[in-house]
Amino acid sequence: MSDHRPVGTLGGSATPLAESFDVALLDLDGVIYRGADPVPRAAEALQAARDAGMRLAFVTNNALRPPDAVAEKLNGMDVPADVDDVVTSAQAAARMLAERLDEGSRVLVTGGAGLRQAVAERGLVPVDGADDDPAAVVQGYDPELTYARLCEAALAIRAGRLWIASNLDSTVPAERGLLPGAGSFVALLRTATDRAPLVAGKPERALHEESIRRTGAERPLVVGDRLDTDIEGAVRAGTPSLLVLTGVVDAAAAVAAPAGQRPTFLGADLRALLQPAPDVHVEASSAVVEARCGAWCCRAEAGALSWHNDADPDANTDANPDANPDAKTDAKTDADDGLDPLRAACAAAWAAADAGNEVRSVEGDVPESCRGLFADDC
Ligand SMILES: [Mg+2]
């Protein structure tokens, strides 16, 4: 296996990621699908990764949808998935409960079908009321939440019962926009009870550990689209991660990633699993950082990023659109995905930020993959 940099820094992989790692722990929304729509080319890329020997697990903070429904949705998008390949925050929460309670204990469930099912599968008894003598409260996203249900949970929590939340995602993506997620309702009960729950989902450890346990992964790779859940969870667990730009994080957010939320690898989409990852070299002096990736060098100095291409000094100008003809093509499998300037920019910006010299602007010609990094550099 290739030599990877420490987790939390962009690294290289001499072999394709699907060969360097034995299991991909894949986030779903923003990675394989966006709401009801499949992410373009995700199914083909995952099949090719499997053909290269990589096993796949589907790891979601969504506690509402039971695993068989998740598998069915994936199968409907030409991503073959067994129920056992799906790991949910509801299952991780139920394991946390089972580790702390006697078998047959009653658990007040403030959540949907997936959470109720996961609790029952662990030999615990779901109940609805604070007067049902629950030993714990477990909370997840519940589309049919009512004030009465919140009252039952609040009374049990105030009575000192164990409280576990599936995840703290404040929003859930939907066709009309971002809607309140499990974390928003946890916040409501925190305000009402002056207590805080234990949390199962990303970036906390329980869901990650459940997925490692389930898959027996020895060299896992976390694949996700969010910095504050997928990538932070990977960093906390010391597991390498691939950030894909098909979900909530764009190039600007990647460059601005704070310490603790920085991926090991960066890819446009899941086809990055099929490629080696280019090395990224960083050289820093007191005021200047230079990061190199492939032929690209990005320099961070006085709060600004600038680029040059060693192989082709005109590569990032519009006057020479053919400098890298592969960079923008669609279903390509060449090693150059056009993101080397962005990888160099991330490494330079992160090192500069860590030294107290945050970058806020760009200078000179900006490569295609780095357009729009800052609000006013259009
Ligand atoms: Mg996601």
Statement to judge: residues 195 and 215 lie in one domain: no
Sign of the CA dihedral running 209, 43, 169, 260:
positive
Residue 306 phi/psi, 5-degree rounding, is -140, 155
pLDDT at residue 79 tops 60? yes
Read off the pLDDT of residues 81-121 as tens digits, 9 standing for 90 and up. Answer: 999 999 999 999 999 999 999 999 999 999 999 999 999 99
Q: What is the pLDDT of residues 118-148, one digit of tens each?
A: 999 999 999 999 999 999 999 999 989 999 9
Distance 260 CA to ligand 1 centre (A): 18
Please state, for a pLDDT cut of 70, what percent of the chain lies above it: 92
176 and 210 inside one domain: no
- What mean pLDDT is predicted for residues 312-334? 51
Centroid of ligand 1 to alpha carbon of 42 (angstroms): 14
Weakest-pLDDT range from 3-17, 239-253, 316-330: 316-330
Cβ neighbours of residue 177 closer than 8 Å, sequence gap 6 or more: none
Q: Please report which helix (H) or strand (E) contains residue 281, including its range.
A: strand 280-284
For residue 241, the surrounding DSSP H or E stretch is: strand 241-244
The set of catalytic residues is: 27, 29
Banded model confidence at residue 335, pLDDT cuts 50, 70, 90: low
Cβ < 5 A residues, ion ligand 1 = 27, 29-30, 225, 247
Task: List phi, psi (to 5°) of 321.
Answer: -70, -15
Dist. CA 34 → ligand 1 center (Å): 9
Range of the domain at 214: 17-61+203-274
Handedness of CA 249, 255, 258, 263 (dihedral sign): positive
Cα of 226 vs centre of ligand 1, distance in Å, is 6
Residue 172: pLDDT band with limits 50, 70, 90:
confident
Residue 338 resides in a domain: yes
Reported pTM: 0.91
What is the count of structural domains for the chain?
3
Of 244, 274, 304, which one is at a domain's C-terminal end?
Answer: 274
CB-count burial class (<10 Å; 0-12, 13-18, 19+) for 346: buried
pLDDT score recorded for residue 358: 94
> Do 123 and 208 have their domain in common?
no
Pairing of strands 55-60, 162-165: unpaired
CATH at 53: 3.40.50.1000
